[in-house]
């Protein structure tokens, strides 16, 4: 059950990510700049993909028991690494605040949106 949940979570996050960036690619391919809303969608899709990945690993981690915390097994490293990535400044959940600011037509505080 948990493996199926993890697969669905990753698949939907991957599809959303690719759909969002494909639209951004098409926009820039027409020599147009991304709108603020498109930049926010890119940020949202990226952060969601990272968050969903960590949640998928958490689902599997809940099944592996103490094996998941022993350094002798590779899963410990996967668990640690995916959670480290969630703290990266560009993809952390804190970036969703800027996305919300754009959704409410406010000036975002993230430098990514200034370009």
The rounded percent of the chain whose pLDDT value lies above 90 is 77
**Taking 70 as the threshold, does the pLDDT of residue 21 lie above it?**
yes
Span of 9-18, 34-43, 106-115 with lowest mean pLDDT? 106-115
- CATH label of the domain that carries residue 16: 1.20.140.10
**Taking 80 as the threshold, does the pLDDT of residue 112 lie above it?**
no
The rounded percent of the chain whose pLDDT value lies above 70 is 99
pLDDT (tens digit per residue) in 72-99: 888 889 899 999 999 998 899 999 999 9
Question: What would the 3-class secondary structure string for the chain be?
Answer: CHHHHHHHHHHHHHHHHHHHHHHHHHHHHCCCCCCHHHHHHHHHHHHHHHHHHHHHHHHHHHHHHHHHHCCCCHHHHHHHHHHHHCCCCCCCCCHHHHHHHHHCCCCCCCHHHHC
**28: containing domain:** 2-107
The count of structural domains within the chain is: 1
Q: Say if 75 falls within a structural domain.
A: yes
Q: Say if 113 falls within a structural domain.
A: no
Q: Say if 39 falls within a structural domain.
A: yes
């Amino acid at each position: 059950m948990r493996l199926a949940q993890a697969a669905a979570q990753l698949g939907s996050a991957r599809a959303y990510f690719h759909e969002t960036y494909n639209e951004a690619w098409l926009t820039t391919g027409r020599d147009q700049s991304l709108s603020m809303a498109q930049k926010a969608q890119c940020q949202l899709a990226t952060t969601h993909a990272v968050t969903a990945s960590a949640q998928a690993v958490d689902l599997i981690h809940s099944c592996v028991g103490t094996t998941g915390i022993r350094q002798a097994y590779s899963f410990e490293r996967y668990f640690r690494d995916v959670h480290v990535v969630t703290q990266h400044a560009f993809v952390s959940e804190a970036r969703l605040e800027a996305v919300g600011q754009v959704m409410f037509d406010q000036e975002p505080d993230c430098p990514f949106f200034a370009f």
